[in-house]
Chain A
């Protein structure tokens, strides 16, 4: 029998996880994924990052 383990990251209250490109409160990493690639930022930082991303669309 093979047991597959996946790392699940959950952000603290009021915080958002990011790897620099993606943002979320709950992250299921791929099998073998590196949790150290993710860090927490504040919601304010997240909203600023999203606003900059969306501004590129116009």
Chain B
């Protein structure tokens, strides 16, 4: 390319992207050539804005949302170092709670108490402590919409009398409790009060105090689980059941009487 051709090409670029038309002198080219850069810069800005408005929006939204969610849980859970979860989510208004970090507290005292809108909790984040819970007092008490508790509630030998009281009181939508591992001291006063949807619950360990599930239409498997873990070492304690559920499971009161013969030390009440 000759020098003249090169100069013409520069002039053409200035005419296309700059702010001058027609013939121009070398001095005019020097004056107006910055406008080529400015034009390119402007086009770049427009392209960036366009990307932000179109392809970039969804990505930006998702990242902003995730960052804010992370900051929230980092604060609530002390970057995963929190160990005391007493009252942790008490009264929250969310329909679902999905913590960022695992929860390894030694008690769940009023853990999700009074969460009126709560439907689901990410129980996969709740890891029972090695020695079991000291207390689950009033853990989910309240007229919530909670459907399922998908974690093992394993009581420690250190758990006191109140550890199981009011655990699920008024959880009218609760259908399933994965497992309660009971120890002898734990009392279940009002633990299942108004749990009118509870069907599936597994017991383990030893139930050594009165336990009333008469609100709940427990399945046969659940009824048998409860009966089979009633302590053989106490006398005169009372286990109360929903009469319709027992009759549905065992057919007749005679069959029920025969079934509970294995626990002669307990009173059995139907209502």
A residues whose Cβ falls under 8 Å from a Cβ of B: 4, 6, 8, 16-17, 19, 21-31, 33, 53-54, 56-57
Contacts and interface: CB of A to CB of B under 8 A. Distances in A.
A30 B266 contact: yes
Interface stretch (B32-40, B91-99, B256-264): B256-264
**CB-CB nearest 9 A-B residue pairs:** A24-B269, A31-B264, A26-B270, A24-B271, A28-B268, A22-B238, A27-B269, A30-B267, A57-B169
A33 B267 contact: yes
B268 A22 contact: no
B141 A25 contact: no
Contacts of B265: 30-31
Label chain A's interface by main secondary structure.
Answer: loop
B243 A22 contact: no
5 contacts: A17-B269, A24-B214, A28-B269, A30-B235, A57-B190
A25 B270 contact: yes
A57 B260 CA distance: 30
Contacts of A8: 257
A21 B210 contact: yes
B212 interface: yes
Nearest to A33: B267
A25 B243 CA distance: 8
A6 B253 CA distance: 13
Contacts, number: 66
A35 B240 CA distance: 17
A10 to B, nearest CB: 9
B193 A29 contact: no
B264 A57 contact: no
A16 B270 CA distance: 10
A37 B130 CA distance: 43
Contacts of B212: 22
A23 B243 CA distance: 12
Nearest to B194: A54
A53 B240 CA distance: 16
Nearest to A16: B271
B56 interface: no
Contact of A24 (B141, B240, B256): B240
Contacts of A26: 243, 253, 269-271
A8 B240 CA distance: 14
B236 interface: yes
B235 A22 contact: no
A22 B166 contact: no
Contacts of A16: 271
A23 B260 contact: no
B166 A57 contact: yes
Contact of A22 (B141, B170, B240, B256): B240
